[in-house]
Amino acid sequence: MRSNMTNKYMTTKEVANELEVSAATVVRWVRSGIIPAKRFGRRIIKIPCIEVEKLLSQNQETLLN
């Protein structure tokens, strides 16, 4: 994992960089329930690092099969 995974939460931009998708895609995934997230105010979305780790491990398993 990369060094930013040591924080408890990641921003949508950090998650997008980690998953190699756009920040808009991450926001869409949060809104649709694919990625659990917490809102801090109206505009700030934070994603727990554990959820990003789960997505990364699922992606690696898919690639291996």
Residue whose structure tokens are 């809104």: 31
Q: How far is CA 60 from CA 3, 22, 46, 47, 65, in A?
A: 19, 19, 23, 20, 9
pLDDT at 65: 52
* pLDDT category of residue 24 using cuts at 50, 70 and 90: very high
What mean pLDDT do residues 32-57 have? 93
Burial of 61 (0-12, 13-18, 19+ CB in 10 A): exposed
Q: With 80 as the cut, is the pLDDT of residue 22 above it? A: yes
Q: With 80 as the cut, is the pLDDT of residue 40 above it? A: yes
What mean pLDDT do residues 33-62 have? 89
Rounded CA gap, 37 and 50, in Å? 11
Average per-residue pLDDT in the chain? 86
pLDDT at 44: 94
CATH number for the segment(s) 3-64: 1.10.1660.10
